[in-house]
Structure 1
């Protein structure tokens, strides 16, 4: 069995080969494919190392950076048709608070900002839709040690720690607030203030997965789902 994870975010030239087919009729503002900057794929590959270890040689896992959230969704849908024998997964930012009473697909369909392209997301398996809640940066603030290691001297974590005192989970912090916290904490470092394209790939590599999973239930859900899928396939 093959597992394909179609992820919202910038890619590199290696991702082109993994896309199920060329894009049709539209291009997003986020490029998937050859870029002047390093894509996120290698960062996610390192972050998912535990899953690759479980997969071993019998199961192949492919992480595919697709560009915008709409691009990722379109590639996911195409994969359902072109490679139905694989376990195809969509992984995108939630972008807004997630109500625990609705499924990830319902959350996306309820977002007017994602209309009209998401409205046909019906009759898909819940296990195939996963959210970075509310955005990938929530995973970064879950692991202050990784941030400190990457940014080094000048990194000021106090603002993040004080801010988190008002939240019960990293997943309840808004996208805008996460950006403000990260930029303030990194402004005086040698690498400069947080820049997603430049810094996120390496930060993903440094994250301690167990720490992030404990802080982010939706991240834990992704790992749990894929681990269970591989166990079922092997039985």
Structure 2
């Protein structure tokens, strides 16, 4: 298998702050792939930093498959490729680097919280007493839930938690490693796209 490196948006401004998110995504991908070869996760902090780190990775690791994973921040128009989305999005306007394919950019639509709310059981186990399942979005397709609505739903669902207290971004770093990837895949086409790619690459074995 060609080495896979995933550059992920988020985690904070320092390597120490980013470590919990790196561990969380590592656990998620381990659950996706089981005993098969797993990607290396590089957490990058800001959105721009993730794109910059990804571009540096393309040069410093030319034999690896480098993948960028960022929030879409807003709905992705039907039929729009991931690279077209970030090219057209105000605040990004990212040009696809030369030689980079569509499979090298993946989106959490519209934010990482969309993946979290797919698994109320994992959230309930984490927040325990006081967690309100009924406050979570009821849409089957979580990619249609606006970013602000995702945050609001997580805050309403957890504001009475006696164990963890109200949702904070640091909770997401742990939760992403606890959610069931089968539930995430079923509710998010973009997650399924990434998981399918990782599985295919792992199945391919050595080049």
Q: TM-score, normalised by structure 1?
A: 0.81
Q: 1:33 to 1:183 in 2, by over 3 A?
A: same
Decide which of 27, 31, 46 is 2:13's aligned counterpart.
31
Q: Partner of 1:34: helix, strand, or coil?
A: helix
Structure 1 residue 54 displacement after superposition: 1.5
Alpha-carbon RMSD: 1.8
Whole-angstrom CA distance in 2 between matches of 1:51 and 1:9: 23
Which residue does the alignment assign to 2:43? 65
Decide which of 153, 159, 169 is 2:129's aligned counterpart.
153
Whole-angstrom CA distance in 1 between matches of 2:127 and 2:117: 13
Which residue does the alignment assign to 1:110? 88
Q: Partner of 1:63: helix, strand, or coil?
A: strand
Decide which of 47, 53, 59 is 2:35's aligned counterpart.
53
The one of the two structures with greater contact order (alpha-carbon pairs below 8 A, sep at least 6) is 2
Note if contact 1:40-1:201 (Cα within 8 Å) is conserved in structure 2: yes
Q: Partner of 1:39: helix, strand, or coil?
A: helix
Note if contact 1:52-1:61 (Cα within 8 Å) is conserved in structure 2: no
Which residue does the alignment assign to 1:85? 63
Unaligned stretches of 5+ residues in structure 2: none
Query: Which of the pair has more CA radius of gyration?
Result: 1
Q: TM-score, normalised by structure 2?
A: 0.91
Note if contact 2:127-2:158 (Cα within 8 Å) is conserved in structure 1: yes
Whole-angstrom CA distance in 2 between matches of 1:45 and 1:96: 25
